Structure formats: C-alpha cells, structure tokens
Chains A and B, each alone.
Chain A
Amino acid sequence: MSPILGIWASQNYPRITNSYESIQTVTVGGGGSASISFTSIPNTYKHLQIRLLAQTNRAASVDSLQLNFNSDTGSNYSWHTVQGDGSSASALGFATQTYARIGDGTIGGATASGGYFGVGVIDILDYASTNKNKTIRGLTGVDANGSGRVGLGSGLWQNSSTAITSISIAPQAGTLFLQYSSFGLYGIKG
C-alpha cells in the first residue's frame, strides 16, 4: 500500500461533505411564539432543508404546519398529504390555498403532554429559481405511545419569477409554538 493511501484510509472520521450548511436556527423560548421566520435567505444554494422539532398550544394531540414564502398570503399555494394514524392510511389535498400545509396533523399538540414533540424534515427544491414554481415536500410525524400520526406531504407555491428569500412557519390550528420547539434551516449546494 502506498503511504499516501495508508494515511488517507486512516483519516476516516469525521468527514464533512462541504455541500450541506447550516444557515439559521430558531428555538422558541418561554411564552411561545405565534410563528417563526427565516429571513434574508441567501441565493447561493440549490435546495433548502428545514429540520424541526415542534409542539403547539392546540387543545388536541396533533396540529399542522403552515408555510408562507416571501410574506405572500395570497391564494397561491396548494398541498397534498398521505398519512397514517395507526389504524388506517388516508390522503387529502387542497388547491388555491393561502398557505402550504405540511405535516397535516403530524405535529404535537398541547394535549400530547409529557414532551411529545413532533419532528419533521421539509425540503424546498430549487428555491432560488426565477423561472419555475416552487415545490416542497415533507416527512413529519409525532408518536405519543397510543396516539399520533405520520405523513408524507407535498406543497406548491405558484410563483415562478421570484426566488424564495424568506420563510414563515406557523401552527395551523394552534396559536403558538411552545417552548423548546426548534427549527433549523440548511442549504444544500448544487
């Protein structure tokens, strides 16, 4: 074995891909937060990923997330989801919405007490494009040892000419994200 190869093989971990970067993280403090936002998102990546841990104050075991881009609250969004609640699979979708709902019923609500936070991974593809509508997808879920739900979701923002520079996330039914909810925004280079 050449000495160089030997050195290379021994330098195993940690390896860093250099293609995946943390952009910003928001953690909800005491008192909760009605929404969280990522602003001034640079256009230097190909895709974005949001990784989250969340619980809302909805008086139910589950809640959902609503996403808006660039402060657009017009009826320019649509979304679909397929989900399982532990006994059956179901699907639903809506067009001409004022937000993209991701994680339909798959984020922890207030009655899921005891620390049952929902978790999720949301991908926003080709977010900086100025000639394509923006598509997003999500894998989200919460299990509370006897209740909960898991789902795969997709969303569309019908705006082909504008790069996404800000993202707002709010509870769909509750009014607050609870303390310790955390949202991380990452950029993936193309």
Chain B
Amino acid sequence: MAAGSTYSTIATNTVSGTSTNSVSFTSIPSTYTDLVLIVNSQKTTSGVVNIYLQFNGDSGTNYSATRVYGTGSIASSFRQTSTIWGIAGNQTDSPSSTIFHIMNYKNTTTYKNFLSRYDCAGESTSAGVALWQNTNAINRVDCLLSASNFFSAGSTLTLYGIAAA
C-alpha cells in the first residue's frame, strides 16, 4: 500500500535579466523514480523558436522527437531525428507553459523517452515525445532555447521528483 507522500520539489530557478539562454539542474539525486519539470516562460524577442532539453551535458546528435500540435487553424505532426535537441515545444514572447515527464531517469537499461505538453494561448498547443539515446542515469538536466534567444526575466523552471513505492 501507500509508501508515503512524494512529488517533492528538487529545485526552482527564476530567470533574472535578459541574457539567460539555458537553465541547468545539476547533481540531481537518484532517490526518485520520475522527474517532472514545469516551465512557465516566455522569451525576450518575438518569433517562434524551440524549447528543448539536454541531459548530462550531452550536446551531441543523440536526440530525436515526435510532436503533434494545433495552431488554431491546423493540426499536424513533425519529427526530428539525430539532433542535438530533445525538443518539447515552442517559445515565443507570449507566456507559455511546458511540462516535461522524464520516466525512470536513473535506470541504466533503456534509452530515455520523455514526454512534454506545451501550451501557449497566443501561439499553439502540442504534445511531444523525445528520445535521448543513452542508457546512463540522468544526473543533470539543461533546459535551453535555440541559439541567440533568451528567457524573459521572471520565467520560472521547477524540477520535481516522484518516488515510486
């Protein structure tokens, strides 16, 4: 039966200034089963770019993603393979929320598939799944915007841990 309360805050980062392109969560403890990252953000300039994750500092072409999205006029899907981006959603100068679910992040048997839900009332809504082709346990998560784009001040990124019974 129940093993007790879980869904604990591991760390929160609030962006200050206008020159933050990436936010890092390092030394993630191995005491949980899943990670959830909730990003409430916008960027400093107009235009749509990607918001994405990298793990353990790996910026190689070891990521891929599949997404389905709706813009208000169309619904579609796209895929990216062998990229440096674990793409989760878009980022514009309108406020948006993105929730990542990283399952069994410390297992050393499977590649890491992770889920995302992105919502921006001013742009689009989407669901995504992305892959990191690596069997190492995840101990660091970087959340990034495409190059030369920056989070607006006040953007918040909070990492939670969920421990299974």
**Residues from chain A with Cβ under 8 Å of B67 in the complex:** 84, 150
Q: Considering the chains assembled together, what is the distance between the CA atoms of A86 and B68 in angstroms?
A: 8
Complex-state Cα separation, A38 to B42, whole angstroms: 41
Chain A-chain B contacts (Cβ-Cβ < 8 Å), number: 182
Task: Name the prevailing secondary structure of the A interface residues.
Answer: strand
Contact residue among A53, A82, A106, A187 (Cβ-Cβ distance under 8 Å from B129): A106
Chain A interface residue count, CB cutoff 8 Å, equals 55
Residues of A within 8 Å of B103, CB to CB, are: 51-53, 119, 182
B residues within 8 A CB of A108?
Answer: 113
Q: A23 touching B165 by the CB < 8 A rule?
A: yes
Q: Chain A contacts of B76 at CB under 8 A?
A: 84, 88-89
| Cβ contact within 8 Å between A119 and B129 | yes
A87 adjacent to chain B (CB < 8 Å): yes
Interface residues of A (CB under 8 A from B): 12-25, 40, 42, 51-53, 82-89, 106, 108, 114-121, 139-146, 148-152, 180, 182, 184, 186-187
A-B CB contact pairs (8 Å), 23 listed:
A14-B10, A16-B8, A20-B7, A21-B3, A51-B34, A52-B103, A53-B103, A53-B110, A53-B113, A83-B68, A87-B78, A89-B69, A89-B70, A89-B76, A116-B113, A118-B113, A119-B129, A141-B115, A141-B129, A143-B66, A145-B81, A148-B79, A184-B162
Give chain B's interface residues, CB within 8 Å of chain A. 1-12, 33-34, 64-70, 75-79, 81-82, 101, 103-104, 107, 109-111, 113-115, 117, 127-131, 133, 135, 161-165
